[in-house]
Amino acid sequence: MTSSGQEEIRLEEVVLYDRILVKPGEKIPVDGQVILGKSYLDESMLSGEYLPIAKGPGDSVFAGTLNQKGSLEIVAEKIGSTTLLGQIIQRVQEAQGSKAPVQRLVDKISSIFVPIIVLLSLLTFSLWMFFGAENALSYGMLSAVSVLVIACPCALGLATPTALIVGMGKGAEQQILIRDAESLELGHQVTALVLDKTGTLTLGKPKVSAFWANSQESGLDTSAIEALLLALERNSAHPLAEAVIAFLDQKNLSKCVVEEFENIPGAGISGRIEGILYFLGTKKWIQAQGVSLPEGPLDIEIKAEEKAQTLIWLSNGTILLAVLGIEDELKKNAPVVVESLKKMGVEVYLLTGDQVYPAKAIAEQVGIIQYQAECLPADKSNFIKALQEKGHVVAMVGDGINDAEALAQADVSIAMGRGSDIALDVAKITLMNSDLAKIPQALRLSKLIVNGIRQNLFWAFVYNLIGIPIAAGLLYPLFGFLVDPMLASAAMALSSLSVVGNSLRLKSQRID
């Protein structure tokens, strides 16, 4: 902003203490403080909380969050990499860079396998020359070459990649997208799994789950009260209004005309219908209008606390007309999936940026005992670090930007397919259809593939243990039998075929 008015500049040109105007629908460009205006901000990308947060003068705002309704004038306090979002990105990069690669068994073996085979070939030739009689030179050359051919590490080299390729293909068939082999190798070792709440255990879409109408005292039937609610919410830009509209829109309600509509950020809305002024919003705001509320808690209030619902109250200024309970819907298979993970010996944790009551309610519904609420991105990452220091192999499942740091820190990172771009970029495994049931399937797939690799290595070594002594001439003194290099090459090919065949067999194995 300049003294002469407004000036549009590039984000890179913003400096500390600049005054910035953020219009409805725009993202906050910097961390700062509101100095003018009121609005609702969607901060779910940072906190995981799906409900928008009311912002006014004196409130802090963060880069990357979405301004939903009113215009805000803010003063820049942090810019670029110093913003909360910038710090998250920086930590993600550090976590990714500091993670050591898994030392695969086949890599260790390969470093010594070839030199040993060359030495065995030379030793075979030397023994033939030292102990051999007639045609020692010819037999020694043939045996030395046969040792090299039959011990060709083709099967050993195919053992891991063929199993991994089959595993990744099988995962893709099940909507499990695997970005690297490391995740497959570590998945079967997971001992602790951390779940995000919003968008992971829940659908991330608010929904009306309870409704109470005061028909007796108001003199209005339920349909009339619902018509008032629908008319008011149709004029509201609050995200919760969409849940109420979706709940009532399916009913054949009479249409009402709203006049003198007013939105009060952080409190509610009001509007006049047929000459009567109605108020819809928080309980505190309704009480401030002088509305007489029941002395004791309503049944819907008691149940709302148990289920961590958000309550919306409707009154006409004197009498309470209705109360709605809105909650984020739990994915139907979440309890079954959590129980399945427990049976696999995996400890399950819930970490969320949401408030305590919703976190507690969701944890109890799905059967998770250990949970933490109101977690910042760094809190999630530090929690995973603490688990790793205790010796756990940790998997993290999330979908938002606020989960990216924790995903990068985890040994196995799993993102929901409908999540944010940064979460999908960081995660090494993506569940394309965001189905929770794919989590235990991914861990079972890891175990299946690792077992396949071990079997492949076993068969590769069995061929070598049996074939090398025979190729060296072990049976010649007893039976006069020598392995021709042509026969050795056929045996070597057969070992490779057995490894490939065993890998392909994994396609028929079940992981559900």
Closest by CA to 51, choosing from 263, 327, 279, 246, is 327
Q: Is 484 an annotated catalytic residue? A: no
What's the pLDDT at 50?
Answer: 63
Residue 264 zone, left/alpha/beta (φ > 0; ψ -120 to 50; rest): beta
Quote the tokens at residue 234. 């149709």
Rounded to 10 degrees, the C-alpha dihedral 78/80/83/86 comes to: -170
Rounded to 10 degrees, the C-alpha dihedral 493/495/496/498 comes to: 120
**What residue spans of 132-180 are helical by DSSP H?**
136-150, 154-173
Q: Where are the domains of the chain?
A: 11-82, 105-163+454-508, 171-202+331-443, 205-329
What's the pLDDT at 1?
Answer: 45
| Superfamily of domain covering 171-202+331-443 | HAD superfamily/HAD-like (3.40.50.1000)
In angstroms, rounded to a whole number, what is the distance separating the alpha carbons of residues 359 and 197? 8
Long-range (24+ apart) CB contacts under 8 A made by 123-126 are 124/471, 124/472, 124/473
Would the pTM of this model clear 0.75, i.e. be above it?
no
Q: For each of the chain's 512 residues, which pLDDT tens digit applies?
A: 444 467 888 888 899 999 999 988 889 999 999 999 888 888 877 766 667 888 889 999 999 888 987 889 999 999 988 888 887 777 556 544 544 343 356 667 767 777 887 887 788 778 777 776 677 777 777 777 877 777 766 677 777 778 888 888 888 778 888 877 777 778 888 999 999 887 788 887 788 888 999 888 888 899 999 999 999 998 886 767 888 998 998 888 888 898 988 887 667 889 999 999 999 988 888 988 888 888 777 888 878 767 767 788 999 988 999 999 888 888 889 999 999 999 999 999 999 876 677 788 889 889 999 999 878 888 899 999 999 999 999 999 988 777 888 888 999 989 887 666 666 677 788 887 778 899 999 999 888 888 888 888 887 777 777 777 777 777 777 776 777 777 767 777 777 788 888 888 888 888 87
In angstroms, rounded to a whole number, what is the distance separating the alpha carbons of residues 143 and 121? 8
**Contact indicator for 124, 118 with CB cutoff of 8 Å:** no
CA angle 506, 507, 508 (to 5 degrees): 90
DSSP state for residue 399 in the 8-state scheme: -
Side-chain-facing half-sphere of 364: CA atoms under 13 Å = 10
Quote the tokens at residue 189. 């070792």
Q: How far is CA 425 from the centre of its chain?
A: 11
CA angle 196, 198, 203 (to 5 degrees): 125
Tokens 């008691």 belong to 302
In CATH, the number for domain 11-82 is 2.70.150.10
In angstroms, rounded to a whole number, what is the distance separating the alpha carbons of residues 218 and 390? 60
Q: Which of 42, 196, 328, 403 is catalytic?
A: 196
Tokens 């995981």 belong to 48
Do the domains spanning 11-82 and 171-202+331-443 agree at the CATH topology level?
A: no
Cα 130 to Cα 121, 141, 228, 254, 485, distances in angstroms: 14, 13, 105, 107, 22
Cross-strand bridge partners of residue 326: 208, 310
Q: How is domain 205-329 classified at the architecture level of CATH?
A: 3-Layer(aba) Sandwich (3.40)
In angstroms, rounded to a whole number, what is the distance separating the alpha carbons of residues 226 and 33? 39
**Contact indicator for 406, 154 with CB cutoff of 8 Å:** no
In angstroms, rounded to a whole number, what is the distance separating the alpha carbons of residues 266 and 295? 25
Handedness of CA 470, 475, 481, 482 (dihedral sign): positive
What's the pLDDT at 92?
Answer: 56
Cα 219 to Cα 215, 295, 300, distances in angstroms: 6, 20, 20
